[in-house]
Protein backbone atom coordinates (compact mmCIF):
# COMPACT_ATOMS: atom_id res chain seq x y z
CA UNK A 1 0.00 0.00 0.00
CA UNK A 2 1.25 3.42 -0.91
CA UNK A 3 0.45 7.04 -0.35
CA UNK A 4 0.65 9.69 -3.01
CA UNK A 5 1.11 13.42 -2.73
CA UNK A 6 0.68 15.97 -5.50
CA UNK A 7 2.02 19.48 -5.01
CA UNK A 8 1.26 22.57 -7.12
CA UNK A 9 1.05 20.45 -10.25
CA UNK A 10 0.75 22.19 -13.61
CA UNK A 11 0.57 20.80 -17.13
CA UNK A 12 0.69 22.85 -20.32
CA UNK A 13 0.13 21.36 -23.76
CA UNK A 14 1.91 24.01 -25.86
CA UNK A 15 -0.34 26.98 -25.04
CA UNK A 16 -3.21 25.05 -23.35
CA UNK A 17 -3.11 25.03 -19.56
CA UNK A 18 -4.71 21.66 -18.82
CA UNK A 19 -3.78 21.22 -15.12
CA UNK A 20 -3.72 24.45 -13.13
CA UNK A 21 -2.01 23.98 -9.79
CA UNK A 22 -3.39 20.78 -8.27
CA UNK A 23 -2.60 19.92 -4.63
CA UNK A 24 -3.77 16.54 -3.44
CA UNK A 25 -3.04 13.97 -0.75
CA UNK A 26 -4.01 10.34 -1.33
CA UNK A 27 -3.72 8.03 1.66
CA UNK A 28 -2.56 4.41 1.78
CA UNK A 29 -5.26 1.98 0.69
CA UNK A 30 -7.66 4.72 -0.28
CA UNK A 31 -10.01 4.46 -3.28
CA UNK A 32 -9.86 7.93 -4.80
CA UNK A 33 -12.07 8.93 -7.71
CA UNK A 34 -11.31 11.88 -10.02
CA UNK A 35 -14.63 13.02 -11.43
CA UNK A 36 -15.65 15.91 -13.65
CA UNK A 37 -17.03 16.71 -17.08
CA UNK A 38 -15.28 15.72 -20.28
CA UNK A 39 -12.14 17.78 -20.90
CA UNK A 40 -11.63 18.93 -17.28
CA UNK A 41 -8.21 17.24 -17.04
CA UNK A 42 -8.95 13.90 -15.32
CA UNK A 43 -6.97 11.75 -17.75
CA UNK A 44 -4.15 14.26 -17.91
CA UNK A 45 -3.82 14.24 -14.12
CA UNK A 46 -3.83 10.43 -14.08
CA UNK A 47 -1.27 10.26 -16.90
CA UNK A 48 0.98 12.70 -15.03
CA UNK A 49 0.80 10.41 -12.00
CA UNK A 50 1.53 7.39 -14.23
CA UNK A 51 4.51 9.13 -15.83
CA UNK A 52 2.92 9.03 -19.30
CA UNK A 53 3.01 12.84 -19.54
CA UNK A 54 5.85 15.18 -18.58
CA UNK A 55 5.07 17.52 -15.68
CA UNK A 56 5.32 21.23 -16.52
CA UNK A 57 5.86 22.27 -12.90
CA UNK A 58 5.13 20.97 -9.41
CA UNK A 59 5.87 17.57 -7.92
CA UNK A 60 4.52 14.08 -7.34
CA UNK A 61 5.58 12.04 -4.32
CA UNK A 62 5.04 8.31 -3.89
CA UNK A 63 5.51 7.22 -0.26
CA UNK A 64 7.30 10.55 0.36
CA UNK A 65 9.77 9.91 -2.50
CA UNK A 66 9.82 12.42 -5.32
CA UNK A 67 8.92 10.56 -8.55
CA UNK A 68 8.23 13.65 -10.68
CA UNK A 69 11.07 12.85 -13.09
CA UNK A 70 11.05 9.07 -12.73
CA UNK A 71 10.13 7.12 -15.89
CA UNK A 72 6.74 5.39 -16.09
CA UNK A 73 8.38 1.97 -15.99
CA UNK A 74 10.15 2.75 -12.72
CA UNK A 75 7.09 4.10 -10.91
CA UNK A 76 5.61 0.76 -9.92
CA UNK A 77 2.10 1.90 -10.88
CA UNK A 78 -0.30 -0.03 -13.12
CA UNK A 79 -2.81 1.64 -15.37
CA UNK A 80 -6.04 0.23 -16.81
CA UNK A 81 -7.43 2.05 -19.85
CA UNK A 82 -10.94 2.44 -21.22
CA UNK A 83 -9.78 0.84 -24.48
CA UNK A 84 -8.45 -2.26 -22.61
CA UNK A 85 -5.24 -2.10 -24.72
CA UNK A 86 -4.83 -5.90 -24.84
CA UNK A 87 -2.39 -7.61 -27.23
CA UNK A 88 -4.71 -9.23 -29.81
CA UNK A 89 -2.32 -12.06 -30.74
CA UNK A 90 -1.77 -13.17 -27.13
CA UNK A 91 -4.05 -15.36 -25.02
CA UNK A 92 -5.60 -14.11 -21.80
CA UNK A 93 -2.84 -15.81 -19.80
CA UNK A 94 -0.12 -14.32 -22.02
CA UNK A 95 -1.64 -10.86 -21.82
CA UNK A 96 -1.74 -11.08 -18.06
CA UNK A 97 1.79 -12.40 -17.67
CA UNK A 98 3.52 -10.23 -20.28
CA UNK A 99 4.84 -7.51 -17.94
CA UNK A 100 6.20 -10.09 -15.49
CA UNK A 101 7.90 -12.00 -18.30
CA UNK A 102 9.62 -8.81 -19.47
CA UNK A 103 10.71 -8.22 -15.86
CA UNK A 104 12.19 -11.76 -15.95
CA UNK A 105 10.15 -13.01 -13.02
CA UNK A 106 10.44 -16.76 -12.33
CA UNK A 107 7.90 -18.55 -14.61
CA UNK A 108 6.58 -20.55 -11.65
CA UNK A 109 5.77 -17.36 -9.76
CA UNK A 110 4.22 -15.87 -12.90
CA UNK A 111 1.95 -18.91 -13.26
CA UNK A 112 0.85 -18.62 -9.63
CA UNK A 113 0.11 -14.91 -9.92
CA UNK A 114 -1.84 -15.34 -13.14
CA UNK A 115 -3.83 -18.20 -11.63
CA UNK A 116 -4.62 -16.10 -8.52
CA UNK A 117 -5.70 -13.07 -10.53
CA UNK A 118 -7.77 -15.23 -12.89
CA UNK A 119 -9.51 -16.75 -9.89
CA UNK A 120 -10.36 -13.33 -8.41
CA UNK A 121 -11.68 -12.10 -11.76
CA UNK A 122 -13.46 -15.33 -12.81
CA UNK A 123 -11.21 -15.73 -15.83
CA UNK A 124 -9.85 -19.19 -15.02
CA UNK A 125 -11.81 -20.94 -17.77
CA UNK A 126 -10.85 -18.30 -20.32
CA UNK A 127 -7.06 -18.28 -19.90
CA UNK A 128 -6.37 -19.81 -23.34
CA UNK A 129 -8.71 -17.54 -25.29
CA UNK A 130 -7.61 -14.63 -27.46
CA UNK A 131 -9.13 -11.19 -26.73
CA UNK A 132 -11.31 -11.29 -29.85
CA UNK A 133 -13.16 -14.29 -28.41
CA UNK A 134 -14.10 -12.37 -25.25
CA UNK A 135 -16.97 -10.04 -24.41
CA UNK A 136 -16.29 -6.40 -23.49
CA UNK A 137 -16.66 -7.13 -19.80
CA UNK A 138 -14.28 -10.09 -20.00
CA UNK A 139 -11.70 -8.02 -21.89
CA UNK A 140 -11.89 -5.36 -19.24
CA UNK A 141 -11.35 -8.05 -16.59
CA UNK A 142 -8.20 -9.21 -18.42
CA UNK A 143 -6.93 -5.61 -18.45
CA UNK A 144 -7.55 -5.44 -14.70
CA UNK A 145 -5.93 -8.85 -14.24
CA UNK A 146 -2.84 -7.61 -16.05
CA UNK A 147 -2.61 -4.84 -13.46
CA UNK A 148 -3.27 -7.15 -10.50
CA UNK A 149 -0.44 -9.60 -11.32
CA UNK A 150 2.05 -6.75 -11.14
CA UNK A 151 1.02 -5.97 -7.55
CA UNK A 152 1.60 -2.28 -8.18
CA UNK A 153 1.86 0.19 -5.34
CA UNK A 154 -1.01 2.16 -6.88
CA UNK A 155 -3.68 1.10 -9.40
CA UNK A 156 -4.71 3.75 -11.92
CA UNK A 157 -8.00 3.34 -13.81
CA UNK A 158 -9.04 5.66 -16.64
CA UNK A 159 -12.79 5.26 -17.29
CA UNK A 160 -12.41 1.47 -17.35
CA UNK A 161 -16.14 0.79 -17.58
CA UNK A 162 -17.19 3.42 -20.12
CA UNK A 163 -17.24 0.99 -23.06
CA UNK A 164 -19.56 -1.47 -21.33
CA UNK A 165 -23.33 -1.53 -21.54
CA UNK A 166 -25.32 -0.20 -18.59
CA UNK A 167 -26.02 -3.44 -16.73
CA UNK A 168 -22.50 -4.78 -17.15
CA UNK A 169 -21.17 -1.44 -15.92
CA UNK A 170 -23.13 -1.81 -12.70
CA UNK A 171 -21.88 -5.37 -12.25
CA UNK A 172 -18.24 -4.44 -12.92
CA UNK A 173 -18.56 -1.46 -10.59
CA UNK A 174 -19.60 -3.79 -7.79
CA UNK A 175 -16.78 -6.18 -8.66
CA UNK A 176 -14.23 -3.35 -8.57
CA UNK A 177 -15.50 -2.32 -5.17
CA UNK A 178 -15.10 -5.91 -3.98
CA UNK A 179 -11.62 -6.04 -5.55
CA UNK A 180 -10.55 -2.97 -3.61
CA UNK A 181 -11.81 -4.46 -0.34
CA UNK A 182 -9.94 -7.65 -1.08
CA UNK A 183 -6.62 -6.22 -2.28
CA UNK A 184 -6.71 -3.17 0.04
CA UNK A 185 -4.51 -1.38 -2.52
CA UNK A 186 -4.36 2.33 -3.18
CA UNK A 187 -6.52 2.96 -6.24
CA UNK A 188 -7.15 6.07 -8.32
CA UNK A 189 -10.10 5.91 -10.64
CA UNK A 190 -11.13 8.43 -13.30
CA UNK A 191 -14.73 8.76 -14.44
CA UNK A 192 -17.17 11.34 -15.78
CA UNK A 193 -19.99 9.36 -14.16
CA UNK A 194 -20.93 10.78 -10.79
CA UNK A 195 -22.78 7.60 -9.81
CA UNK A 196 -19.55 5.61 -10.21
CA UNK A 197 -17.77 8.25 -8.16
CA UNK A 198 -20.38 8.18 -5.40
CA UNK A 199 -20.51 4.39 -5.19
CA UNK A 200 -16.81 3.53 -5.46
CA UNK A 201 -14.94 6.31 -3.73
CA UNK A 202 -13.58 6.70 -0.25
CA UNK A 203 -12.53 10.13 -1.47
CA UNK A 204 -14.00 12.07 -4.38
CA UNK A 205 -11.92 14.72 -6.17
CA UNK A 206 -14.09 16.95 -8.33
CA UNK A 207 -12.18 18.60 -11.16
CA UNK A 208 -13.26 21.63 -13.14
CA UNK A 209 -11.18 23.11 -15.95
CA UNK A 210 -7.86 21.85 -14.57
CA UNK A 211 -8.58 22.85 -10.97
CA UNK A 212 -9.67 20.82 -7.97
CA UNK A 213 -13.12 22.15 -7.11
CA UNK A 214 -13.64 20.05 -3.97
CA UNK A 215 -12.28 16.97 -2.19
CA UNK A 216 -14.37 14.96 0.23
CA UNK A 217 -16.24 11.78 1.00
CA UNK A 218 -19.14 11.07 -1.36
CA UNK A 219 -21.75 12.07 1.22
CA UNK A 220 -19.86 15.17 2.21
CA UNK A 221 -19.67 16.52 -1.32
CA UNK A 222 -23.35 15.66 -1.75
CA UNK A 223 -24.55 17.36 1.42
CA UNK A 224 -21.96 20.12 1.55
CA UNK A 225 -21.05 21.06 -2.03
CA UNK A 226 -18.50 23.87 -1.87
CA UNK A 227 -19.68 25.47 -5.09
CA UNK A 228 -22.52 25.56 -7.54
CA UNK A 229 -20.39 23.53 -9.93
CA UNK A 230 -20.10 20.64 -7.45
CA UNK A 231 -23.73 20.99 -6.38
CA UNK A 232 -24.85 20.63 -9.98
CA UNK A 233 -22.46 17.83 -10.86
CA UNK A 234 -23.09 15.51 -7.91
CA UNK A 235 -26.56 14.02 -7.51
CA UNK A 236 -29.13 12.70 -9.93
CA UNK A 237 -31.55 14.11 -10.91
CA UNK A 238 -29.55 17.32 -10.78
CA UNK A 239 -29.95 20.03 -8.18
CA UNK A 240 -32.15 22.88 -9.44
CA UNK A 241 -31.13 26.52 -9.12
CA UNK A 242 -33.64 29.30 -8.62
CA UNK A 243 -33.05 32.98 -8.08
CA UNK A 244 -33.87 34.46 -4.66
CA UNK A 245 -37.36 35.96 -4.94
CA UNK A 246 -39.43 38.07 -2.54
CA UNK A 247 -41.88 35.18 -2.12
CA UNK A 248 -39.08 32.87 -1.07
CA UNK A 249 -37.56 35.48 1.24
CA UNK A 250 -40.90 35.68 3.05
CA UNK A 251 -41.16 31.90 3.32
CA UNK A 252 -37.64 31.66 4.74
CA UNK A 253 -38.37 34.44 7.25
CA UNK A 254 -41.49 32.51 8.32
CA UNK A 255 -39.71 29.21 8.58
CA UNK A 256 -36.88 30.61 10.70
CA UNK A 257 -38.99 33.09 12.64
CA UNK A 258 -37.17 36.09 11.17
CA UNK A 259 -33.66 34.66 11.57
CA UNK A 260 -31.72 33.11 8.68
CA UNK A 261 -29.13 30.70 10.09
CA UNK A 262 -28.50 29.19 6.64
CA UNK A 263 -27.64 32.54 5.00
CA UNK A 264 -30.22 31.88 2.32
CA UNK A 265 -31.71 35.34 1.95
CA UNK A 266 -28.28 36.89 1.29
CA UNK A 267 -27.74 34.41 -1.55
CA UNK A 268 -28.36 35.10 -5.20
CA UNK A 269 -29.20 31.50 -6.02
CA UNK A 270 -30.85 28.71 -4.12
CA UNK A 271 -29.83 25.13 -4.87
CA UNK A 272 -32.75 22.76 -4.38
CA UNK A 273 -32.49 18.98 -4.69
CA UNK A 274 -35.58 17.02 -5.80
CA UNK A 275 -35.91 15.46 -2.35
CA UNK A 276 -36.36 18.93 -0.81
CA UNK A 277 -39.42 19.71 -2.93
CA UNK A 278 -42.90 18.56 -1.90
CA UNK A 279 -45.73 18.78 -4.37
CA UNK A 280 -49.10 19.73 -3.04
CA UNK A 281 -52.53 19.04 -4.47
CA UNK A 282 -54.11 21.57 -2.12
CA UNK A 283 -54.06 25.15 -3.28
CA UNK A 284 -52.32 27.75 -1.18
CA UNK A 285 -50.84 25.69 1.60
CA UNK A 286 -48.80 27.58 4.17
CA UNK A 287 -45.47 27.16 2.41
CA UNK A 288 -46.97 27.35 -1.01
CA UNK A 289 -45.14 28.36 -4.18
CA UNK A 290 -46.75 28.09 -7.56
CA UNK A 291 -45.36 27.01 -10.89
CA UNK A 292 -46.32 25.27 -14.10
CA UNK A 293 -45.50 21.63 -14.88
CA UNK A 294 -43.38 21.57 -18.02
CA UNK A 295 -42.57 17.86 -18.22
CA UNK A 296 -43.50 14.63 -16.43
CA UNK A 297 -41.15 11.63 -16.65
CA UNK A 298 -42.58 8.36 -15.36
CA UNK A 299 -39.67 6.09 -14.43
CA UNK A 300 -41.73 3.33 -12.85
CA UNK A 301 -40.58 3.48 -9.25
CA UNK A 302 -41.00 7.24 -9.20
CA UNK A 303 -42.11 10.10 -11.36
CA UNK A 304 -39.96 13.16 -12.03
CA UNK A 305 -41.83 16.42 -12.38
CA UNK A 306 -40.18 19.48 -13.93
CA UNK A 307 -41.75 22.74 -12.81
CA UNK A 308 -41.29 26.15 -14.40
CA UNK A 309 -40.89 28.63 -11.59
CA UNK A 310 -40.77 32.38 -12.27
CA UNK A 311 -40.84 31.77 -15.99
CA UNK A 312 -37.69 30.12 -17.22
CA UNK A 313 -36.33 28.47 -14.05
CA UNK A 314 -36.89 24.76 -13.71
CA UNK A 315 -37.31 22.90 -10.46
CA UNK A 316 -37.15 19.11 -10.46
CA UNK A 317 -39.38 17.28 -8.01
CA UNK A 318 -40.13 13.64 -7.32
CA UNK A 319 -43.69 12.40 -7.20
CA UNK A 320 -45.26 9.00 -6.55
CA UNK A 321 -45.10 6.50 -9.33
CA UNK A 322 -48.76 6.87 -10.29
CA UNK A 323 -49.32 10.52 -9.28
CA UNK A 324 -51.91 12.14 -11.53
CA UNK A 325 -49.79 15.04 -12.75
CA UNK A 326 -49.84 16.25 -16.32
CA UNK A 327 -47.62 18.64 -18.26
CA UNK A 328 -49.17 22.10 -18.60
CA UNK A 329 -50.93 22.04 -15.22
CA UNK A 330 -50.44 24.71 -12.57
CA UNK A 331 -48.92 23.22 -9.46
CA UNK A 332 -48.35 24.14 -5.83
CA UNK A 333 -45.19 23.06 -4.10
CA UNK A 334 -43.17 23.71 -0.99
CA UNK A 335 -39.44 23.66 -0.39
CA UNK A 336 -37.70 22.35 2.72
CA UNK A 337 -35.42 25.31 3.43
CA UNK A 338 -33.46 23.34 6.04
CA UNK A 339 -32.03 21.33 3.15
CA UNK A 340 -31.30 23.83 0.41
CA UNK A 341 -28.07 25.68 -0.26
CA UNK A 342 -27.48 29.35 -0.93
CA UNK A 343 -24.90 30.39 -3.52
CA UNK A 344 -23.48 33.83 -4.26
CA UNK A 345 -22.98 35.41 -7.69
CA UNK A 346 -19.63 33.64 -8.08
CA UNK A 347 -21.16 30.23 -7.40
CA UNK A 348 -19.67 29.85 -3.91
CA UNK A 349 -21.87 28.29 -1.27
CA UNK A 350 -22.81 30.63 1.57
CA UNK A 351 -24.78 28.17 3.71
CA UNK A 352 -22.88 26.48 6.52
CA UNK A 353 -22.26 22.73 6.31
CA UNK A 354 -25.30 20.61 7.03
CA UNK A 355 -23.25 18.70 9.57
CA UNK A 356 -19.51 18.48 10.08
CA UNK A 357 -19.53 14.76 10.36
CA UNK A 358 -21.97 12.79 8.29
CA UNK A 359 -22.74 9.44 9.80
CA UNK A 360 -25.07 6.97 8.16
CA UNK A 361 -27.74 6.29 10.77
CA UNK A 362 -29.44 3.05 11.77
CA UNK A 363 -32.33 1.84 9.71
Min. distance of Cβ 62 from ligand ADP in angstroms? 21
Q: Measured between alpha carbons, how far is 50 from 70 in angstroms, rounded to an integer?
A: 10
Closer CB to Mg ion, residue 37 or residue 137?
37
Min. distance of Cβ 179 from ligand ADP in angstroms? 23
Instruction: State the binding partner of 246 from Mg ion, ligand ADP, none, CB within 5 to 8 A by kind.
Output: none
Instruction: State the binding partner of 16 from Mg ion, ligand ADP, none, CB within 5 to 8 A by kind.
Output: ligand ADP
Q: At what angle do helices 107-120 and 92-102 cross, to 10 degrees?
A: 140
Closer CB to ligand ADP, residue 187 or residue 207?
207
Residues 275-294 interacting with Mg ion (rule: CB under 5 A): none
Min. distance of Cβ 39 from ligand ADP in angstroms? 4
Residues 20-59, mask of contacts with ligand ADP (x by CB under 6 A)? ----------------x-xxxxxxx---------------
Q: Measured between alpha carbons, how far is 80 from 222 in angstroms, rounded to an integer?
A: 28
Is residue 216 a contact residue for ligand ADP (CB under 6 A)?
no
**In 60-208, alpha helices (H):** 92-102, 107-120, 136-149, 166-183, 194-200
**Only segment of 5-13, 37-45, 98-106, 217-225 that touches Mg ion (CB under 5 A):** 37-45
**65-66, strands of its sheet edge to edge:** 16-26, 4-13, 57-62, 65-66
Instruction: State the binding partner of 38 from Mg ion, ligand ADP, none, CB within 5 to 8 A by kind.
Output: ligand ADP
Instruction: State the binding partner of 18 from Mg ion, ligand ADP, none, CB within 5 to 8 A by kind.
Output: ligand ADP
Report whether 282 contacts 298 (CB < 8 A): no
**203-208, strands of its sheet edge to edge:** 77-81, 154-158, 186-191, 31-35, 203-208, 211-216
* Contacting residue, 13, 101, 243, 327, with ligand ADP by CB under 6 A: 13
Instruction: State the binding partner of 24 from ligand ADP, Mg ion, none, CB within 5 to 8 A by kind.
Output: none
Q: What number of other Cβ atoms are within 10 A of residue 12's Cβ?
A: 12
Q: Measured between alpha carbons, how far is 245 from 242 in angstroms, rounded to an integer?
A: 8
Burial, 218: exposed, middle or buried (Cβ in 10 Å; 0-12, 13-18, 19+)? buried
* Contacting residue, 32, 43, 97, 303, with Mg ion by CB under 5 A: 43
Residues 6+ apart with CB under 8 A from 26: 3, 4, 5, 6, 32, 154, 186, 188, 203
Instruction: State the binding partner of 41 from ligand ADP, Mg ion, none, CB within 5 to 8 A by kind.
Output: ligand ADP
Instruction: State the binding partner of 138 from Mg ion, ligand ADP, none, CB within 5 to 8 A by kind.
Output: none
Select from 24, 30, 29, 28 the least CA-distant residue to 3: 28
Q: Measured between alpha carbons, how far is 29 from 314 in angstroms, rounded to an integer?
A: 42
Residues 167-186 interacting with ligand ADP (rule: CB under 6 A): none
Q: Residue 97: phi, psi to the nearest 5?
A: -95, -5
Closer CB to ligand ADP, residue 27 or residue 232?
232
Min. distance of Cβ 17 from ligand ADP in angstroms? 9
Residues near ligand ADP, by CB under 6 A: 13, 16, 18, 36, 38-44
Q: Give residues in contact with Mg ion (CB under 5 A).
A: 43
Amino acid sequence: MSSLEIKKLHKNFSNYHAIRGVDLQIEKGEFTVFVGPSGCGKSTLLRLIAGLEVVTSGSILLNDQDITDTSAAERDLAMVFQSYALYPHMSVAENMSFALKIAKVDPKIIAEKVADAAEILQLTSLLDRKPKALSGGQRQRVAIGRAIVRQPSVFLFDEPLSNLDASLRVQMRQELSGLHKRLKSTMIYVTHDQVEAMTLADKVVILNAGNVEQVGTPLNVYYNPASRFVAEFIGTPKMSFIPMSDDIKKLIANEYDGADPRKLTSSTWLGVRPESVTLSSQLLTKAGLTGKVSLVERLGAETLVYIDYLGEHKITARADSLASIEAGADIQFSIDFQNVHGFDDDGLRLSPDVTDNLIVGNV
